[in-house]
Structure 1
Amino acid sequence: MPKTGSISHVSLSVSDYEASKKYYTLLLVDILGYKQVADHPYYCMWSLSSGESICISPGNKTPHHKQNPGLHHLAVHVGTKEEIDTAYQKILKFHEENKSLTGCSILDAPALYPQYGEGYYAVFFTDPDNIKLELAYIPNGH
């Protein structure tokens, strides 16, 4: 039984559904260990065994900007600094191999961010729609 108040799922609208499925499969399956649980013409979903899920669905072509009302960025926990470094290399390789996905970029390479907490280590990047994503190692879990 999920804990009251825990996140069930996050759903993102994307402008290029097929490109985003490819991108989120790399991120969620290959890097973070999610399992793809749905793949329909109108949405795709990946879940962890604990139940948390991320979905994408086809949207319009309006560019995303983190300062508009709505999602600023999506941050996901990672267990170690080394996992972030490995993920960073995979993301770089994906970006290099998929240059046609113009929204994809590294915003900030893996580094310590003491302003967010002691030992906070993260990488910041964007998906094909320029949605800001973060992988974060936070030693105390907050």
Structure 2
Amino acid sequence: MIDHLSIGVTDLVKSKAFYQQVLAPLGYSVKIEMEHGVCFSSSAGDLWIVKSQPAKTHFAFRADDHAAVDAFYQAAIAAGGTDNGAPGLRPHYHENYYAAFVIDPDGYNVEAVCHQKNH
């Protein structure tokens, strides 16, 4: 289990607003805010965004159900994210893999995924 993840962002204010909106459906909220970074926290662990040059990568947040994946995607698009895969099943990963993908303001490929059948 990952305790926390830290990513570099070029515009801390813009990225904070993006992640506040995008992560709310997944149960995250701002835990710590400092001049050089912001920590979003949930029972699943922490995401830090820090002022620095981004490194292109992909990361995924676990969602409890399909509705949370859908809400994540809608929040990301509303916050200025770019579609990189609308919510849906990805059976090439496994039969219950339901996910959505967006590109954040720094070009990160961010995913929300539910591994359970829809209730």
Which category describes the TM-score, using the shorter chain as reference length? 0.7 to 0.9
Distance 1:35 1:91 in 2: 15
Q: How many residues align?
A: 117
Distance 2:73 2:2 in 1: 25
Q: Percent identity, please.
A: 30
Residue pair 2:88, 2:100 contacting (<8 A) in 1 also: yes
Q: Does 2:35 match 1:37?
A: no
Q: With structure 2 as the length reference, what TM-score do the two structures score?
A: 0.88
Cα offset for 1:89? 2.1
Return the structure number with greater relative CO, CA threshold 8 A, min gap 6.
Answer: 2
Alignment RMSD: 1.7
3-state DSSP of counterpart to 1:109: coil
3-state DSSP of counterpart to 1:82: helix
Partner of 1:59: 52
Larger radius of gyration: 1
Instruction: Describe the shift of the 1:89–1:133 C-alpha distance in structure 2 as closer, same or farther (beyond 3 A).
Output: same
Structure number with higher strand proportion: 2
Q: Does 2:82 match 1:111?
A: no
Q: Does 2:71 match 1:78?
A: no
Q: Does 2:89 match 1:89?
A: no
Partner of 1:13: 8
Distance 2:33 2:78 in 1: 25
- Structure 2: which 5+ residue stretches go unaligned? none
Runs of 4+ in structure 1 displaced over 4 angstroms?
none
Cα offset for 1:64? 4.5
